Chain A
Amino acid sequence: MRRTAAAIGVFLVALLVVMALLSLVWTPYDVTRLAIPDKLQTPGAAHWLGTDHFGRDILSMLMVGARTSISVALIAVGIGLGAGVPLGLLAASGAGGWIDEAVMRFNDLVFAFPALVIAILITAVYGPGAVNAMIAIGIFNVPVFARLTRGAALALWPREFVLAARVAGKGSLRISVEHILPNLSNLLIVQSTIQFSLGILAEAGLSYVGLGAQPPIPSWGRMLAESQTLITLSPHVAIFPGLAIVVSVLGLNLLGDTLRDKLDPRLTHER
């Protein structure tokens, strides 16, 4: 059961990545070429997943859209990890002190705003586009990682191996890097995959309301938005991008679980 889930997760994420990478060098059709005579074709030999209302090939658009989704989600998670984890480690090493208070109250402040509304605000102020979407989603990942890191690190600080490191004369920065961080990696990996899939959803959401990647760059969210009025006429135009989002999120979550199991030395080196 666990094996099967792992295999499915790896397969789905690999498929997503391969599609995105392949789109860099080759797509079945040019996604910027409009071919009105071929519009709304059902899946067939010429167009495997059919065409949309401008006659663009849906498979090609999904491939390029995967690239958009991955890069937005990846950078958003990167911002979250890069800023959130150090903040969390810092807060935990000075638990109860003013740094801890300052970091955590800042987190509360960010948490107090509804994420999507602020993302819309940022893109509205700085203009819609993939880069601003990345930053907007990334900012909301910071407190998620900071809180997670601080909570887990606080539980590690009183452990005897940390005391042993303090007896060895190591300072809090060194202990945070050498002892605390490696023991948080499982947690961070699992959380990263969750945030990654949430990032894909958020990007789709922003593009759906027109604030994500701008035309002619294809994006799954906008494909859904554009197909909305055609759903009874040509359901495949909506089904495929929808399916792509669901399948990516599922694959990432399964992969996260698998990684967590694999990365734990206590599980891999037993006996």
Chain B
Amino acid sequence: MSASVQGCRVDTPLLRVDSLSLSIGEDAILQTLSFQLHAGDTLGIVGESGSGKSMTALAIMQLLPVGAELQGSIAFCGEELVDLDEARMQHIRGADIGMVFQEPMTALNPVHTIAAQVAESIRLHRGLTRDESFTEARATLDRVGLSDIAGDRYPHELSGGQRQRVVIAIAIACRPRLLIADEPTTALDVTTQAGILALLDELQRETGMAMILVSHDLAVVAKTVDKLLVMRDGTILDSGDTEDIFSATASAYTRTLLDASTWSPPSVSRRADHNTVLLQVDGLVAGYPSGRRRLFAPRQIKNAVDNVSFAVHAGENLGLVGESGSGKSTLARCLLGLMPIEAGMVSLNGRTLSLPKRVQSRSQQEWGRAVRRDIQIVFQDPYGSFNPRHRVERLVAEPLHLLDEPMTRSQRRQRVSALLERVGIEPADALGRYVHEFSGGQRQRIALARALIVQPSLIILDEAVSALDVSVRAQVLALLAELAADEGLAYLFVSHDLSVVRNVTDRVLVMRGGCVVESGLTDEVLSQPRSAYTRSLVDAIPTLPVLT
């Protein structure tokens, strides 16, 4: 305790960052940042990927990657943190400045119980005995809303939201004066996100600590913070009171960000043809095998999708909404034939696509493959959905394998080029490159080109825009709307993000625990939800203050 910063004077800012610059190698990451924070303040740092917002947080904690060069000054309670010796910094970290990271699973040690992990931090910084620290740890776990969970559980036994609460408990256990939360809710579901934000807000009010909330999502920070920094390319574009920034004083870039997060598609005439059923799903049941009870006993199937029926009409955008574990991704996989189904039937354009294995004959399986070109998918992760060892031409051409007649090399190149152009990628430049040379938004465009190459009538978008920055997301959504209008495509829009679903889909299905709990026209379902679960999802959507 004696080692922590004492006697911070009332008139000294708690944190003063002065012309801070950071470079790694030849890249300038941060350029002359200056801002300050007083005790009890809440500051939001907002920006898209590469804006330097996380690096700012890491610079304050002095947890920068090897090779980073820092110039300027970071004063915490008047004490200079830049070039402070590591032993002293270790006392400040945890005791005076707490940090919450994005990914709660990797931030916790899997081999220790949660109480032990909270207690460890308390013991290190507050010099309590083992028993005292455990008592204190349990009290802290109660404080973050984990009172009904025993402290002797392990991280893998908790849900994502509960784990993030444990991470917060560790961060606040030593009663820091400053809490830095770096994208604390990005990895969580909407309903869980609302709970975590409320908890942070409450803790901040109660303890009077200052808080820095780093996020890419304006709507997440808008409600929680008093002051806002908008960052881009390592510089501060806008700073000031949150209300002022949301009013007309903001820079053009901040306005773009605001507009992008409330994006709605240009009013194209929706071509949904409700007479033509494109995809029909009847009583679908599917699941994953769990462990055997005994050796040689048949594996038990744990149902992830339970008796789901719905239809997608030609040219329609159907939203499929649910939290993680609701079975929406499993359902998408069944439609693509990537997973065997246990019961029910899937048909596309009136032809059977999937049947349970025991009633399926070999010829039906073959036939299913031929039909498969009508249904394609764009995955969530723009990094993981391409083979890193293939070049763009080969990647985009991959589904051509489904065509009956093989194409010549030049035909193939022509087709790939035409599609890349269609999705806004310059083919001459892109064909011979690897995907890691492209940005996230460009990769999703390439993924879309790959899906379009066999001219499908339905594309499944499995969280396809969730990993993108808001401004890029708006561009990709605009492209999707344009393609739908031109090609008469139907989309199955799988997402946990209701704000996007609300803007781009005609009808929506809400899933929970493998079952459909509600379905109907998007506007009706989201404005007058009939089930309590849908209502909780709708209420949890973070909203921006209305622009004046």
- Name which residue of chain A comes closest to B377, CB basis: A167
Given known contacts A160-B381, A182-B387, is B434 in contact with A166 (CB within 8 Å)?
A: no
Q: Decide yes or no whether A168 CB sits under 8 A from chain B.
A: yes
Give complex CA distance A179, B389 in Å.
8
A163 vs B373: C-alpha distance in the bound complex, in angstroms?
14
Residue B406 lies at the interface, judged by CB distance under 8 Å to chain A: no
> What band does the interface of chain B fall in when counting residues whose beta carbon is under 8 Å from A?
20 to 34
Q: Which residue of B lies closest to A169 (CB)?
A: B402
Minimum CB–CB distance for B405 against chain A, Å: 14
Task: Give bound CA distance, A269 to B433, whole Å.
Answer: 9
Asked whether any CB of chain A lies closer than 8 Å to the CB of B138, the reply is no
- In chain A between 169 and 221, which residues have their CB closer than 8 angstroms to a CB of chain B? 169-170, 178-179, 182-183, 185
Do B384 and A160 have beta carbons less than 8 Å apart? yes
**A2 neighbours in B (Cβ, 8 Å):** none
Asked if B376 is an interface residue, CB under 8 A from chain A, the answer is yes
Is chain A's binding surface mostly helix, strand, loop or mixed? helix
A contacts with B, residue count (CB < 8 A) = 20
Of B333, B390, B436, the residue contacting A269 (CB under 8 A) is B436
Whether B372 contacts A167 by the Cβ 8 Å rule is: yes
Contact (Cβ within 8 A) A168 B436:
no
Smallest Cβ distance from B307 to chain A, in angstroms? 25
Best-buried of B377, B386, B387 by chain A (most CB within 10 Å): B387
Q: Could you tell me the distance in whole angstroms from the C-beta of B24 to the nearest C-beta in chain A?
A: 13
Q: Are B385 and A160 in contact (CB under 8 A)?
A: yes
Is B369 close to A, CB under 8 A?
yes
Closest CB-CB distance, B467 to chain A, in whole Å?
Answer: 12
Given A164-B450, A165-B398, residue A265 in contact with residue B388 (CB < 8 A): yes
Q: Check if B336 is an interface residue, CB within 8 A of chain A.
A: yes
Report the separation of the CA atoms of residues A250 and B478 in the bound assembly, to the nearest whole angstrom: 57
Q: Are A164 and B381 CB-contacts (below 8 A) given A182-B389, A265-B434, A266-B436?
A: no
| 26 contacting pairs across A/B (C-beta < 8 A) | A160-B379, A161-B385, A161-B387, A161-B388, A163-B379, A164-B377, A164-B379, A164-B450, A166-B338, A167-B336, A167-B399, A168-B398, A168-B399, A168-B400, A168-B401, A168-B402, A170-B398, A170-B401, A179-B387, A182-B387, A182-B390, A183-B389, A266-B388, A266-B434, A269-B434, A269-B436
Residues of A within 8 A of B (CB): 159-161, 163-170, 178-179, 182-183, 185, 265-266, 269-270
Q: Which residues of B contact A (CB under 8 A)?
A: 333, 336, 338, 369, 372-373, 376-377, 379-381, 384-390, 398-402, 433-434, 436-437, 450
- Pick the 5 closest A-B CB pairs, nearest first: A160-B385, A168-B399, A182-B389, A160-B379, A169-B402
